[in-house]
Chain A
């Protein structure tokens, strides 16, 4: 039950549908584990303190901040990263819309937005503009002014190009 101070013990994580066994200490943060141990570098580190949303992943389908999540506490849960929401070939409708609507500029915030907005549309297929704005208000973007991000999400919801 108690896991020793800094002691690395085995943990099983299901990431993007694949269960991996690895060894990590109690203080291992999910973001570090994804990027450093599993080389899933699509999840970005913008601040490490919960203040940017670049590190958004899903735990059991819910978008959360991987920089504020202890890896051990999500063992046995379903973890999905940007790599996991990307189809084997091509792009998801939302990803396509992000490209076509100019919702990505420097792109560093983009995986986080895609994770947040994909979950939004799954749970609320027809959000209003204020609902979209509220839903993405934990993801910072410094390039776009959010306008084209909101547009891309709305266009996807409405099934228009």
Chain B
């Protein structure tokens, strides 16, 4: 059901509720995930993980393990020591530890055996001799030179992996003339993706010199590259296949050591090898959201107009770089939009620690900093006596503008988001008017719709290519390496092709991702797929459509310019009764050439400033959000419930309403998890809760009612005007709840997750200070 203010539907499919095309396979258990694949003669691999947070390896004796019956191969680090990593500038991982282990869970050795039990017994027979090294579980200690840096690449003998210093405008001058300033210091526990499908990989080296790898990955192309680099096999001899993937959220975007190990073991044994993670493997592999401390200062004038941001972030990277360089930039540059910030200073450091690595997780880099900024703005609004909505609106970035750090802003419907959320939530009747324990809060969001630069190759090569093939059967096969991990990109791809060519959805077949045949798309991260794949698909489909139109032109005698596609046919625009069936047009077009081929590609336009790090955060478009959350707090126990979220979101034109709602609801669920209870809980460097029992993903009863308010205007460059909706919808959730808690009990909580004990403690501290729950103070 379309919202009354949605743009008038001008497309047959685009903009409707399109059920996932692979849905019938998923609801019947017929969708094939990696662990559902079984290769004949396959071995099972298991990994020996480090029990030490930081240690130098003196020797590893695998002889006993190797001699055990049923054991086919044992692998240690020196065989494949080539470093790799998702970013070419920070290759600091090896498939298996070489020389040193850096966290509890780092991989010491791998065994391939006839079955899991045999492999596990073999692991226990491996003897490791080490020299313990000082561990560095916290980033604070690592910002100065340390006795034993975790990586040699740390800056000047420290554990700092990346330091970013940026200054635009004159922050000190802006603070000097400010009418009011605020400072917020936030602490954020690490959180992790916790997708339901554990990682799994199968590798099969074959006698023809080729290697096939099936893996639960959201970025098959980077895996392809890493396999080639580390194993020393040219890419064209490696074939990467992505089966159905049971969720990723960023956790399956780095090429991961086990994928390389699995392939190495197959090369070693000449047999197919499968590796399936148990939950603890998944948790220690992590790559989730970074534990972070941030320190945000904001200066405003008397009207609440933002004069400057001054931000620091200390980011706990864990053992490896992963996406960390990007994370370090994002914590700064993604803090500004949706607002105009004329002066900006940022100092961010990501520090290696001896913890499981952090990396990219849904709304990567934009979540923690956003929480602190939004709470700071609410505090300012209250002190200035300005309504939080008004304060945001006064600061909204205008459409078609440039930010102080040279982001190119094109479409923004942020103000429409504010209006929709304010109106639908009944804000003006509720804010500061509800009884003690109940409250509403506003949180806003901003996120990239794709990253402007591909990580691994020159921006001259497209970030996404789509191939179509239409043959006599009337079906259209679509090849593209985009990775559907549940977000619905296959469905969108099919819908775009069907829309443009005018055919029924069931004529379009999305072929499984297979590097031998799928043209490169760089995968599901940075919310890029809809925008980039969508444009490439549209271009490819238009090229196919044009071939059909030319054929129809020959058949009807009307020039192509006077023809248009309609449902399953091509007709004359001013004489709709004159039409050629799709199949007839297709068959006519195939005369002489055979099956039709069409291709489309997407390159993002040049953009961004000319300074170090200028590209970080540049995107062909941005999403915007304004959420209101309503909470109910038991003020004696601190237990609270989020009753409702009004989620106003600007993803440009809504392309698949069902999918966008699903992304928003799922994002709110994940955001609430981080807000209310999820935490990677550490004692020192040791992860205490590597299980789905102790890692607290919210339950259905904890979900609020969600009202999606999709008010975006068409983006000028987005496919059909669409932008991202996969990550941005998470961000506003947390501050909306945080600000609602303040409205309810008069406390701003800056230490996430905000569990009941912390809520209660905050109330007690406020009461002890004699401060009332309402009113400025």
Residues of A within 8 A of B (CB): 35, 39, 41-52, 54, 81-83, 86, 91, 95, 98-102, 104-111, 114, 130, 132-134, 136-137, 140-150
Contacts and interface: CB of A to CB of B under 8 A. Distances in A.
Contacts of A91: 24, 27-28
B379 interface: no
6 contacts: A51-B692, A91-B24, A104-B23, A107-B26, A107-B27, A150-B700
A143 B247 contact: yes
A155 to B, nearest CB: 13
A54 B35 CA distance: 14
B661 A102 contact: yes
Contacts of B23: 98-99, 104, 107
Contacts of B691: 47, 49, 51
A79 B529 CA distance: 41
B658 interface: yes
B29 A144 contact: no
Provide the main secondary structure of the chain B interface.
loop
A142 to B, nearest CB: 5
Which 4 pairs show the lowest CB-CB distances between chains A and B?
A42-B29, A106-B486, A108-B246, A107-B26
Nearest to A40: B29
Given A42-B28, A100-B19, A137-B701, 6 more contacts: A49-B279, A104-B20, A104-B27, A141-B196, A142-B669, A148-B661
A6 to B, nearest CB: 10
B703 A145 contact: yes
B170 to A, nearest CB: 44
A124 B246 CA distance: 30
B20 A102 contact: yes
Interface centre among B38, B245, B485, B662, by most chain A C-beta atoms within 10 angstroms, is B662
B115 to A, nearest CB: 9
Given A107-B246, A137-B701, A143 B659 contact: no
B196 A106 contact: yes
A102 B198 CA distance: 22
Given A95-B27, A98-B23, A106-B486, A145 B666 contact: yes
A43 B693 CA distance: 20
A140 B665 contact: no
A42 B30 contact: yes
Given A83-B29, A142-B697, A147-B665, A107 B244 contact: yes
Contacts of A141: 196
Interface residues of B, number: 56
A95 B31 CA distance: 14
A6 B198 CA distance: 28
Contacts of B197: 44, 46, 106, 108
Interface string B421-437: 00000000000000000
A40 B249 CA distance: 27
Contacts of B659: 102
A48 B278 contact: yes
A83 B244 CA distance: 18
A155 B236 CA distance: 49
Given A48-B279, A140-B692, A146-B669, A107 B31 contact: yes
B324 interface: no
Contact of B33 (A44, A145, A150): A44
B158 to A, nearest CB: 36
Contacts of B195: 106, 108, 142
Given A134-B701, A142-B249, A107 B666 contact: no
B290 to A, nearest CB: 19
B178 interface: no
Interface of B: 17, 19-20, 22-33, 35-36, 38, 193-198, 244-249, 276, 278-279, 485-488, 658-659, 661-662, 665-670, 691-693, 697, 699-701, 703, 706
A20 B36 CA distance: 21
A102 B196 contact: no
Contacts of A150: 700
A68 to B, nearest CB: 13
B27 A102 contact: no
Given A41-B36, A82-B29, A145-B706, A140 B662 contact: no
B29 A106 contact: no
B701 A54 contact: no
B665 to A, nearest CB: 4
A67 to B, nearest CB: 11
B486 A105 contact: yes
B693 A49 contact: yes
Contacts of A39: 38
A81 B433 CA distance: 52
A148 B23 CA distance: 13
A152 to B, nearest CB: 9
B665 A148 contact: yes
B703 A147 contact: yes
A35 B38 CA distance: 10
A91 B28 CA distance: 8
A27 B634 CA distance: 46
B279 A144 contact: no
Contact of B27 (A35, A98, A134, A144): A98
Interface centre among B30, B665, B700, by most chain A C-beta atoms within 10 angstroms, is B700
Given A142-B194, A145-B703, A110 B27 contact: yes
Contact of B29 (A41, A51, A101, A145): A41
Nearest to B33: A108
B503 to A, nearest CB: 21
Nearest to A135: B700
Contacts of A105: 20, 247, 486-488, 662, 666
Contacts of A146: 669, 699-700, 703
Contacts of B703: 145-147
A144 B665 contact: yes
Nearest to B249: A142
A82 B276 CA distance: 22
A39 B395 CA distance: 59
Contact of B247 (A130, A134, A142): A142
A70 to B, nearest CB: 16
B249 to A, nearest CB: 7
Given A143-B247, A146-B669, A148-B665, A46 B196 contact: yes
B700 A106 contact: no
Contacts of B248: 106
A107 B488 CA distance: 11
Contacts of A101: 658
Nearest to A36: B38
Contacts of A50: 693
Contacts of A86: 28-29
Contacts of B193: 142
Nearest to B279: A47
Contacts of B38: 39
A98 B693 CA distance: 26
